[in-house]
Amino acid sequence: MKFEMVEQLPLVSVEIEYNGMKKTFSNVLLDTGCASTILDTDLCEEIGLLLDLENPLQERCMELAELISELNKK
């Protein structure tokens, strides 16, 4: 797996297939100690993968998700 260090964070590109549709996610934080996975919800919706609004980890990970979103804009 190739990764790039950006602002001291290891980032990778990941291709996800869901229901026969594929999407490549860029600037995905490689965090082997995280208990959950955070992906750009807009990109997930493009392949039909929808957000679980009942997951309590979502709120705790919101700040990290915003950071990743900002990195994707660069």
Reading the chain (74 residues) residue by residue, the pLDDT tens digits are 788 999 898 999 989 888 899 999 888 888 888 777 777 888 888 888 877 667 665 555 566 666 677 777 76
Helices (H), 1-74: 41-46, 57-60, 62-73
Token output for 22: 């594929």
Q: What is the tally of structural domains in the chain?
A: 1
From the list 2, 6, 4, the residue with the least C-alpha distance to 74 is: 6
Domain span at residue 9 reads 4-73
